[in-house]
Amino acid sequence: MNNIILCGFMGCGKSTIGRIMAKKAGLTLVDMDRYIEEKEGMTVSEIFEKYGEERFRELETEACRELSERENLVIAAGGGTLTFQRNIDILKSSGKIVFIDVSYENLCERLERDTRRPLLQVENRNEVIRELLDKRLPIYRNAASVIVNGNFTSGIVASNILGIMG
Ligand code: S3P
């Protein structure tokens, strides 16, 4: 039950913040996208392209199940992971969910040059971010037991989370 699960929109800093937290607190970071990529031997983009988003979501739930069996982890979830109730249920049973809240403007800026995230390889990227964010914000807020302001540097956000978690 002692894992820390970081959730939030693409570009909110889950992986970087998670890496800093893990180092400071002597925990192990698992980046869920990288975990799936290593297991499948394919990038997230390739999985989306070859098998579709639905298959990726199944793999994500499989990863949630496997990681929830482990302890002392900081889990950087994918941006969509915690939008599925089944994943919330699994991950909640293994630790505390932290939502890293970053403003729309900052997300757009941070994601401006992204080439890695299949959902953002569109002409109207900022509109897609707006739509997805509006849909997901209430879900993230509801899933999390801790909400932190993510509009600071990764180091500050990491320290703030560790401070809150005691
Ligand atoms: C997704 C976020 C990505 C990755 C996939 C889908 C999403 O993770 O899982 O591209 O639905 O928001 P990051 O939040 O780490 O970019």
Tens digit of pLDDT for each residue in 45-84? 999 999 999 999 999 999 999 999 999 999 999 999 999 9
User: pLDDT tens digits, residue range 10-41?
Assistant: 999 999 999 999 999 999 999 999 999 999 99
Spans of all domains in the chain: 3-165
- The reply to whether ligand 1 has any atom less than 6 angstroms from the CB of 44 is yes
- The reply to whether ligand 1 has any atom less than 6 angstroms from the CB of 156 is no
Q: Which among 10, 113, 130 is the best mutation to test ligand 1's pocket, defined by most ligand atoms within 8 Å of the CB? A: 10
Q: Which among 75, 99, 119 is the best mutation to test ligand 1's pocket, defined by most ligand atoms within 8 Å of the CB? A: 119
Please state, in angstroms and as integers, the Cα–Cα distance from residue 70 to each residue in 2, 40, 54, 128, following that order: 9, 20, 25, 35
Q: Which residue's C-alpha comes closest to atom 9 of ligand 1?
A: 78
Check if CATH label 3.40.50.300 holds for domain 3-165. yes
Query: Using CA atoms, how far apart are residues 46 and 24, in angstroms rounded to an integer?
Result: 33
